[in-house]
Amino acid sequence: MILKPSFNIFTSEDGREALQVIKNKNIDVVTLDLKMPVMPGEEVLKQIKDYDPTIEVVIITGYGTLKSAVEAIKYNVFDYILKPFNVSDILSTVKRCLERREMSFRVKAFLTEIEKESKSPLKMYKHISHFLNKLDEFYHPAKSEGYLEFVKVLTSTLETNDTYTKGHSERVNYYATLIAEGLGLSQVDTRDLQTSAYLHDIGKVGISVNNGSLDENELTEMRKHPLKGVKMVSPLKLPHEVIGGIKYHHERMDGEGYPEGLKGDQIPLFARIIAIADCYDAITVGRPNKAAMSKNEALLELKRNADSQFDKELLDIFAKALRKK
């Protein structure tokens, strides 16, 4: 009821009733609890997104877990709020949610037009680069508090059509943020890290490979995506820390990574954080030729590669944060 003075509100006693309201009314935003009678909140979320993926969802719950948070990311939930909460936080969240919905429609419409004209990944890459160069004519995130929201919408839209990359950037952002919290990064640094995490794979737009094992030519092509990504986002004039995360997230602590073979502390902090988050997500989601690992299996796999591939100190912070979830 706290939203009633500002918005047209419909309430439901349970999940099934909520789904009926959604089908009978024009709904923009749903605030959803995970613990409800008749139908679990996770199932309601799934059915909402199956019915209309453009409906924004804010989860408000007193029963938050790592599993439910990752499930929320999978279905592109706008925010995940734990009880107890402040009324002002809910109002602010719903307003930002509506702003993102409007922005999402604009970005998707623009990218749909691009796709119609693009007959190859290379053309898509050129069109997206042109889009970012002309951003002032469309929406300039650097001039708005919606900067990070723009990045979220852009990356989630680009990932929509691929089962295995859908939600990947959002999950990498989530895991990277856990490490940022463990390090005690400032709010500004955390926001910059999140921007870098969302954009870390944007260079893959211009690369066409199969989802299975890569042959030598495909692997060479795939390894170009960090540099392509940096080139694509150059019009955004991002801080150099953000660029470093995008460019160097495939470097390794032993110097055997790419694109420059940096070693140890030569690798920027954001890149070392994103490397852990990126790999953890990849091995816990799985691929057509490789089954997904459990949380414990994935952490053991990462630890086996501590110091050679990953920063051991950051990995310990990440493992500690995950075990709390």
DSSP state of 266: G
Say how many C-beta atoms besides its own lie within 10 A of residue 63's C-beta: 11
Give the mean model confidence (pLDDT) for residues 167-193: 94
Could you list the beta-strand ranges (E) of the chain.
29-32, 56-61, 79-82
Give the mean model confidence (pLDDT) for residues 74-87: 81
Report the DSSP beta bridge partners of residue 79.
58
What is the C-alpha separation between 32 and 74, in angstroms, rounded?
Answer: 16
3-state helix, strand, coil in the chain (%, to 5): 60, 5, 35
Buried/exposed 222-244: b ≥16 CB within 10 Å, e otherwise = bebbbebbbbbbebbebeebbbb
Q: For the chain, what are the domain ranges?
A: 1-85, 99-323
What DSSP letter does each residue of 90-147 carry, written as one string? Answer: HHHHHHHHHHHHHHHHHHHHHHHHHHHH-SSHHHHHHHHHHHHHTGGGT--GGGSTTH
Nearest to 232 by CA among 167, 158, 172: 158
Q: Which of the four pLDDT bands, split at 50, 70 and 90, describes residue 103?
A: confident
Contact partners, residue 268, CB within 8 Å, separation at least 6:
241, 244, 245, 248
Q: What percent of the chain has pLDDT over 70?
A: 82
Q: Any idea which of 3-12, 71-80, 106-115 has the lowest mean pLDDT?
A: 106-115
Residues annotated as part of the active site = 204
SS3 251: coil
SS3 44: helix
Which pLDDT score is estimated for 261? 97
**CATH number belonging to domain 99-323:** 1.10.3210.10
Which pLDDT score is estimated for 194? 92
Q: How remote is the C-alpha of 183 from its chain's centroid?
A: 20
Q: Which of the four pLDDT bands, split at 50, 70 and 90, describes residue 37?
A: confident
**pLDDT tens digit string along 212-267?**
567 788 788 889 999 999 988 887 788 899 999 999 999 999 999 999 999 999 99
- Written as one letter, the residue type at 3 is L
Which pLDDT score is estimated for 141? 46
Report the DSSP beta bridge partners of residue 80.
59
- Written as one letter, the residue type at 32 is L
Using CA atoms, how far residue 291 sits from 53, 175, 271, in Å, is 27, 20, 26
- Written as one letter, the residue type at 324 is K
Helices and strands (H and E) in the chain: how many: 14, 3
Give the mean model confidence (pLDDT) for residues 173-193: 95
Which pLDDT score is estimated for 223? 92
What tokens appear for 80 in the block? 């995940």
**pLDDT tens digit string along 279-299?**
999 999 877 678 899 999 999
Pick the CATH number of 1-85 from 3.40.50.300, 3.60.21.10, 3.40.50.2300, 3.40.50.720: 3.40.50.2300
Is the pLDDT reported for residue 311 higher than 90? yes
Whole-number average pLDDT of the chain: 83
What is the C-alpha separation between 237 and 75, in angstroms, rounded?
Answer: 30
315 or 52, which is more confident = 315
What is the C-alpha separation between 318 and 316, in angstroms, rounded?
Answer: 5
**pLDDT tens digit string along 136-176?**
444 444 444 456 667 777 787 777 656 667 789 989 999 99
